[in-house]
Amino acid sequence: MITALDQPRIGVYVCHCGGNIAGAIPVGDLAAFARGLPHVVLARHYKYMCSHPGQQLIQQDIVLLQLNRVVVAACSPLVHEKTFQRAAEDAGINPFLVQIANLREHVAWVATDAELAARKAKAQVAAAVHRVAGHRPLERKAVPITPRVLVVGGGIAGIQAALTLADAGKEVILVEREPTLGGHVAMFDKTFPGLECTACVLTPKMTAVKDHPKIRLLTCSEVQAVEGTVGKYRARIRRRARYVNEDLCVGCMRCVEECLFTSETIPNAFDRGLGMRKPIYMPFPQAVPRVPVIDREACLRLVTGKCAQSCVEACGERGAIDFRQEDRVEEHEVGAIIVATGFQTFDPSPIAHYGYGRYPAVYTALEVERLLNAAGPTEGKVVLRDGSTPKAVGIAHCVGSRDHHYHAYCSRVCCMYSLKLAHLIRERTGAEVYSFYIDIRAPGKACEEFYEEVQQAGVHFIRGKLAEVGTAAEHGVDRPGGLVATVDDTLQGRVRRIALDMLVLSVALEPREGAETIRRMFGMTCSNEGFFQEKHPKLAPVNTANDGVLVAGACQGPKDIADSVAQADAAAAQALALVDRGQIDLEPNTAWIDQDACSGCKTCIPLCPYHALRRDEERRTAVVDEALCKGCGVCVAACPSAAAQQRLFTDQQIYDEIEGLLSYG
């Protein structure tokens, strides 16, 4: 301890943030103002307080001037509070004797009126000074971290993250809602821009997950509830009955073949309804785990209870078919969570003039992906619903994206996947392919080159948004089952009508239905569009508002496979960094009860969402279990005796802050 703490000696540091703050607020004046505030020993302003020299400046002053409290007037405390706390700590004062005044996000970047901005800046600095004078040293408490990670979502991002973590020796629980791993990527035949075989990329990874001793794969499963906090979460996972025992099944498919349903009559969701399946089925041949699943809505045995159960017979001694299976709930304790729940594609049916759902020849891009897939319903042949091969195919870009009626954002991958589809369709059918685009966005390695290649392959690029599509008959064109697309060709400056046999809609990527529930369950926030919000776009792109919860893949925003994989690894690295630490320091802003002042009135007890408060029957007072307290302060605000207090947010500290905010104009 350098000086007696009850004699505050405060240093105030006003950051220019380059021109970010200094451009809007007279930092010199502000420092001069700060010098006149109570207990302020000195006030400086400096280019970049967060820089090494900036931090050193504070540290030197702490030592030379025996400062015992620091106010940094800079950017949001959510950005650099920890930085300055560490700097102060290194110089020998408790990190909780540092207070940040947020001048950048809250004043400089938003202010319209220079004088008002200067006044607000002064008020925020004065509030910080008044408040910090009453701060007392606090200690962070360490709690052990459970060295296990929950990965939610078995798409490419979830798979990647799980493998990286497991390879580092951490236990992983991977939860997938569907009966198989793979997500959207498993539906594709080729990837862009290199046109690699998707199955060749994905299948080994899926198998690796299945075989990894550190990964527990839970398919047909969903997280129901999450409790706890960073370092120790308890997740309740509901596991739907598959009716086929994963441990016993060898994936011979005899049961599927022997099912009483002799023909496949149920639309296969994995094929977007373009292919059919039986009540017992494998979503696709490379599914992992390679275990069939029984559709409880369609299976005769499960629906009516009456069936010859030829599947059971087919399985024979293995006895893997198990109709007694029931849904059950498992609880797992984990230290960190990676959310990789992916996206869904935009449903274009609301755009009536594009005719989706009305004209059989209008397809979504994802449907065409299935047609192109060698393991898909048409074994890779691009054919219309009547089995004929199209001779003219239109591809409409930006369906549901860059459209203020639907999604204002650019879905980022549509241009490239549209180019891929154009290439593949032309390659496999020789059809004329027309691409209706607003502009082609092809950033990234080898993408522009791929665009050129597709152009050279003879695909017609028409710059203009598809206006509408009608039947050939309406337009007086003799083309059975055909369509006529109307498009304003902005390069030629005329409206063109183009006869087509097939129209592909390059639909947007959007947040999954249910993303809201997931967001709440994991304590995250969402961007406006509904994608999960990263903590900071640059500094913490895979972190979220909830410290132990990380995001990866397209649930955070549209992205391609490469980016999803990269982000998954980043999330895995963050999770690893967290659980590998072994313990975590909790913020000390927990509540406590002044036992002399507490009357045991029980007002606070039902308020605590974490059951951290109880009444000590002997003393007739309330007590806080600090291990359970998360520091919301709801009990403190309710206490009519001021017996409940919250560290870092005591009544007095907040009154001081209010007074500081308003005492100087």
Residue 649 lies near other proteins (rule: CB under 8 A): yes
**Distance between CA atoms of residues 130 and 662, nearest Å:** 11
Instruction: Give 36 or 319: the residue with its C-beta nearer to other proteins.
Output: 36
Element (H, E) at 653: helix 651-662
Rounded to a whole number of angstroms, the minimum distance from the CB of residue 529 to other proteins is 9
Q: Which residues, 468 to 527, sit near other proteins by CB under 8 A?
A: 520, 523, 525-527
637: Cβ–Cβ under 8 A, 6 or more apart, which residues?
none
Helices (H), 73-155: 77-90, 114-133
Instruction: Give 78 or 241: the residue with its C-beta nearer to other proteins.
Output: 78
**Distance between CA atoms of residues 54 and 42, nearest Å:** 15
Instruction: Give 154 or 631: the residue with its C-beta nearer to other proteins.
Output: 631
Q: From the list 175, 186, 334, 598, which residue makes contact with other proteins (rule: CB under 8 A)?
A: 598
8 Å CB contact between 543 and 509: no
Burial of 52 (0-12, 13-18, 19+ CB in 10 A): exposed
Nearest to 282 by CA among 297, 300, 264: 264
- Copy the structure tokens of residue 197: 């075989």
- Copy the structure tokens of residue 480: 């059975």
- Copy the structure tokens of residue 44: 């400086």
Rounded to a whole number of angstroms, the minimum distance from the CB of residue 147 to other proteins is 25
Instruction: Give 130 or 290: the residue with its C-beta nearer to other proteins.
Output: 130
Rounded to a whole number of angstroms, the minimum distance from the CB of residue 555 to other proteins is 15
Instruction: Give 134 or 251: the residue with its C-beta nearer to other proteins.
Output: 134
Rounded to a whole number of angstroms, the minimum distance from the CB of residue 642 to other proteins is 3
Instruction: Give 361 or 613: the residue with its C-beta nearer to other proteins.
Output: 613
- Residue span binding other proteins (CB under 8 A) among the ranges 97-105, 288-296, 492-500, 505-513: 97-105
Instruction: Give 367 or 657: the residue with its C-beta nearer to other proteins.
Output: 657
8 Å CB contact between 103 and 124: yes
- Residue span binding other proteins (CB under 8 A) among the ranges 74-82, 89-97, 183-191, 560-568: 74-82
**Distance between CA atoms of residues 38 and 133, nearest Å:** 9
Instruction: Give 61 or 534: the residue with its C-beta nearer to other proteins.
Output: 534
Rounded to a whole number of angstroms, the minimum distance from the CB of residue 70 to other proteins is 17
Instruction: Give 17 or 202: the residue with its C-beta nearer to other proteins.
Output: 17
Residue 597 lies near other proteins (rule: CB under 8 A): yes
Q: Which residues, 50 to 69, sit near other proteins by CB under 8 A?
A: none
Residue 37 lies near other proteins (rule: CB under 8 A): no
Residue 377 lies near other proteins (rule: CB under 8 A): no
Residue 36 lies near other proteins (rule: CB under 8 A): no
CA-to-CA dists, residue 445 to 416, 450, 451, angstroms: 12, 10, 12
Rounded to a whole number of angstroms, the minimum distance from the CB of residue 600 to other proteins is 6
Residue 373 lies near other proteins (rule: CB under 8 A): no
Residue 651 lies near other proteins (rule: CB under 8 A): yes
Residue 224 lies near other proteins (rule: CB under 8 A): no
Instruction: Give 154 or 511: the residue with its C-beta nearer to other proteins.
Output: 511
Residue 641 lies near other proteins (rule: CB under 8 A): yes
8 Å CB contact between 507 and 520: no
Rounded to a whole number of angstroms, the minimum distance from the CB of residue 562 to other proteins is 26
Residue 603 lies near other proteins (rule: CB under 8 A): yes
**Distance between CA atoms of residues 13 and 471, nearest Å:** 70
Helices (H), 495-560: 515-521
Residue 638 lies near other proteins (rule: CB under 8 A): yes
DSSP strand pairing (69-74 vs 328-334): unpaired
Q: From the list 41, 477, 607, 623, which residue makes contact with other proteins (rule: CB under 8 A)?
A: 607
Residue 72 lies near other proteins (rule: CB under 8 A): no
Rounded to a whole number of angstroms, the minimum distance from the CB of residue 606 to other proteins is 5
Residue 355 lies near other proteins (rule: CB under 8 A): no
Residue that the structure tokens 């206490």 belong to: 639
Instruction: Give 147 or 523: the residue with its C-beta nearer to other proteins.
Output: 523
SS (H, E, C) 158-210: HHHHHHHHHHCCCEEEEECCCCCCCHHHHHCCECCCCCCEHHHHHHHHHHHHH
Q: Which residues, 253 to 272, sit near other proteins by CB under 8 A?
A: none
Residue 600 lies near other proteins (rule: CB under 8 A): yes
**Distance between CA atoms of residues 568 and 559, nearest Å:** 12
Q: Which residues, 105 to 124, sit near other proteins by CB under 8 A?
A: 105-113, 116-117, 119-120, 123-124
Instruction: Give 95 or 154: the residue with its C-beta nearer to other proteins.
Output: 95
Instruction: Give 2 or 79: the residue with its C-beta nearer to other proteins.
Output: 79
Residue 588 lies near other proteins (rule: CB under 8 A): no
Four-residue CA torsion sign, 182, 185, 191, 192: negative
Q: From the list 495, 609, 616, 625, which residue makes contact with other proteins (rule: CB under 8 A)?
A: 609
Residue by residue, DSSP assigns 282-321 as: -SSTT-SS---EE-TTT-HHHHTS----HHHHHHGGG--B
Instruction: Give 421 or 661: the residue with its C-beta nearer to other proteins.
Output: 661
End-to-end CA distance of the chain: 35
Residue 408 lies near other proteins (rule: CB under 8 A): no
* β-bridge partners, 65: none
Q: From the list 5, 78, 253, 300, which residue makes contact with other proteins (rule: CB under 8 A)?
A: 78
Q: Which residues, 532 to 571, sit near other proteins by CB under 8 A?
A: 533, 545-546
8 Å CB contact between 96 and 590: no
Rounded to a whole number of angstroms, the minimum distance from the CB of residue 153 to other proteins is 21
Rounded to a whole number of angstroms, the minimum distance from the CB of residue 28 to other proteins is 19
- Residue span binding other proteins (CB under 8 A) among the ranges 98-106, 240-248, 334-342, 356-364: 98-106
Instruction: Give 127 or 311: the residue with its C-beta nearer to other proteins.
Output: 127
Instruction: Give 31 or 643: the residue with its C-beta nearer to other proteins.
Output: 643
Q: How far is CA 172 from the centre of its chain?
A: 18
- Residue span binding other proteins (CB under 8 A) among the ranges 46-54, 312-320, 417-425, 649-657: 649-657
Instruction: Give 139 or 580: the residue with its C-beta nearer to other proteins.
Output: 139
Q: Which residues, 610 to 629, sit near other proteins by CB under 8 A?
A: 615, 620
Q: How many chain residues are in contact with other proteins, going by CB under 8 A?
A: 74
- Copy the structure tokens of residue 629: 């307290």
- Copy the structure tokens of residue 273: 């309804």
8 Å CB contact between 149 and 334: yes
Residue 236 lies near other proteins (rule: CB under 8 A): no
Rounded to a whole number of angstroms, the minimum distance from the CB of residue 225 to other proteins is 12
CA-to-CA dists, residue 261 to 175, 255, 304, 408, angstroms: 31, 11, 14, 46
Residue by residue, DSSP assigns 390-433 as: PSEEEEEEEESSS-TTS--S--SSHHHHHHHHHHHHHHHH--EE
**Distance between CA atoms of residues 120 and 107, nearest Å:** 7
